[in-house]
Structure 1
Amino acid sequence: MIWRASGMVNDQSNTYQNDLFAESNHTSPNKREWKSTQDSIAHHGIAFEIFNQGVVIIGKSGVGKSELGLELIDRGHRLICDDLVSGQLINQEIILSAPQSFGIGFMEIRGIGFVDIGRFYGMQALCQQQRLALVIELVDNSMLDIVNKDRLMQLISEVDVLGVKIPLYKLPIGANRNLPVLVELIVKYATSREIGYDSHNFFIEEQSKMIEQDNQ
């Protein structure tokens, strides 16, 4: 099964298209493999409830997903599952869920080992299930070079998950970037877009109106 992503730069949906996630018999560092059935999916990543929204964070191995996850937990957000993210199609929504048996509430932190989040941070730091609202992909900081050439460009696209369109936000990582704050901002921004207000487009439209008025 292949998920396709349609790129959107200022809501131009035909800007680019590429296969983001593919189930394959071949392993590749550039392909993230999803296992799927007719109404369920599984993928390596980490899932959280952030501001009552189900968020999956993905990225290549060693990029820092678990460390980012710990910072999000420390900021009051709740872990759904780590490493293997599972979801099920229910009433045209993708419902993320925690493991039903062994492994619930554990995170692997390189150099430390497996950490029991419920024991160390309290059971309030865990979430059993939540609707998938968006996916955030941690990408190389070089993506910022592309954005710097076009300051109006947004690293936003969408993926088709079992027939459900899910927003995908690419988040460039870097030593001087406050990733937990940026993840929170992305969730707030995505939630706002979902209910009909896109601050980016609003600013551009209002600026264009002002320029037109000045030219009259």
Structure 2
Amino acid sequence: MPVAPLSVRVLFETYQKRLALHWLAGHAGAERTIGRDPADATDAALVGYLNLIHPSRLQILGAAELDYLLGLDEKTYTEALDHLFTEPTLAVLIAGGLPAPPALRRAAEQHGTPLLGSALASDKLLNHLDYYLSDLLADKQVVHGVFMDVMGIGVLLTGESSVGKSELALELITRGHILIADDAPEFRRVGPDTLRGSCPELLQDFLEVRGLGLLNIRAMFGDSAVKRHKNLRLIVNLVPVAKSDIHNIDRLQGSFSHRTLFEVEVPEIQLPVAPGRNLAVLVEAAARNHILRENGYDATAHFIERQRHLIAREEQE
């Protein structure tokens, strides 16, 4: 689900304090939208330093870039500004609290291109903008389930309706784990192999439990019981099975697989749900075991290797 492009005005209002922004000129372009257009042949980057050959959507001018412009002869300087303040440039940002030369203000007004100033150093401004825009403009996908922070990793509880996801989440919360989103967590790809899950604003802090209705987890358990976002590391899929069928499950390997979201493979465990099973303890164990696997330890491989050594020793004896 692609995210609608945001405007320069919204970017300014949202991150004015965090990026130490102030508006210098070019208010007429406030509603210009920032986003990647697949049909755009220029394929311009979202943020970058001054580049008149391959201009970015948001161009940052630091001390070096301003010195370069001011060192040009008058004709070349005017041509460079005309080029700088036209498409595909959507806004120009002067970093480091440096004053804007009058010619830049005039060019911004003439072309209706926003000219913003920031007190941040140019490298920090570039990194922060790139991070915020990547997060804001990343495609998102809603996955039905409950997203939690269990043992310090993001765990998504999925399964059929009425399988007991919310009841399991409530028990995990009482055991000290953290709720991120119930029912409809949103996931965005924020890196080549990183998916970040968050909660829609309407559902923040709430958990629906059949028989109890909506519960405000923050009000009941305090601020430490909820979190705004977390990177997805593990999916636990709850699967109802008859108690007699549990014996058919592979006792050594378990039910491990992967689920693909945004072309990222996420480890998934099929966790059988049957009377008498303590699911909260099992999810905690699954999270701990996943952390061990990520650190290179495989309990099954260790057990098989130990068995092999034991058999070899008995054969020698």
Q: Normalization by structure 2: what TM-score?
A: 0.54
The gaps in structure 2 that reach 5 residues or longer are 2-136
**Match in the other structure for 1:72:** 172
1: CA distance between counterparts of 2:305 and 2:298?
Answer: 11
- Of 271, 296, 299, which aligns to 1:199? 299
- Of 180, 204, 214, which aligns to 1:114? 214
2: CA distance between counterparts of 1:164 and 1:68?
Answer: 26
Residue 189 in structure 1 maps to residue 189 in structure 2: no
2: CA distance between counterparts of 1:127 and 1:108?
Answer: 17
Following superposition, the deviation at residue 75 of structure 1 comes to: 0.4
Q: 1:202 to 1:98 in 2, by over 3 A?
A: same
Residue 91 in structure 1 maps to residue 187 in structure 2: no
2: CA distance between counterparts of 1:172 and 1:121?
Answer: 29
2: CA distance between counterparts of 1:182 and 1:43?
Answer: 22
The correspondence of residues 95-106 of structure 1 with structure 2, limited to 5 A, is: 95-99=196-200, 101-106=201-206
Equivalent position amino acid for 1:134 in 2: L
The correspondence of residues 15-164 of structure 1 with structure 2, limited to 5 A, is: 39-92=139-192, 93-99=194-200, 101-142=201-242, 144-147=246-249, 150-164=250-264
Equivalent position amino acid for 2:217 in 1: I
1:105 and 1:116 in contact (8 A); partners too? yes
Following superposition, the deviation at residue 38 of structure 1 comes to: 7.5
- SS for the counterpart of 2:282 is helix
- SS for the counterpart of 2:184 is strand
Equivalent position amino acid for 1:158 in 2: H
2:253 and 2:300 in contact (8 A); partners too? no
Equivalent position amino acid for 2:188 in 1: Q
Following superposition, the deviation at residue 156 of structure 1 comes to: 0.7
1: CA distance between counterparts of 2:223 and 2:138?
Answer: 32
Q: Aligned-pair RMSD on alpha carbons?
A: 1.8
Following superposition, the deviation at residue 141 of structure 1 comes to: 2.5
1: CA distance between counterparts of 2:253 and 2:190?
Answer: 34
More helix by share: 2
2: CA distance between counterparts of 1:81 and 1:163?
Answer: 22
2: CA distance between counterparts of 1:153 and 1:78?
Answer: 28
Equivalent position amino acid for 2:315 in 1: N
Following superposition, the deviation at residue 174 of structure 1 comes to: 1.6
The gaps in structure 1 that reach 5 residues or longer are 2-36
Larger C-alpha radius of gyration, 1 or 2? 2
The correspondence of residues 171-186 of structure 1 with structure 2, limited to 5 A, is: 171-186=271-286
Equivalent position amino acid for 2:199 in 1: A
2:138 and 2:190 in contact (8 A); partners too? no
1:94 and 1:131 in contact (8 A); partners too? yes
Equivalent position amino acid for 1:45 in 2: G
2:148 and 2:179 in contact (8 A); partners too? yes
Equivalent position amino acid for 1:172 in 2: P
Deviations 1:44-95 (A, max 9, x none): 1000001110000001000111011100000000000000021100012000
2: CA distance between counterparts of 1:214 and 1:158?
Answer: 38
1: CA distance between counterparts of 2:156 and 2:232?
Answer: 7
Q: Normalization by structure 1: what TM-score?
A: 0.78
2: CA distance between counterparts of 1:139 and 1:49?
Answer: 21
Q: Which has the higher contact order (CA 8 A, sep 6+)?
A: 1
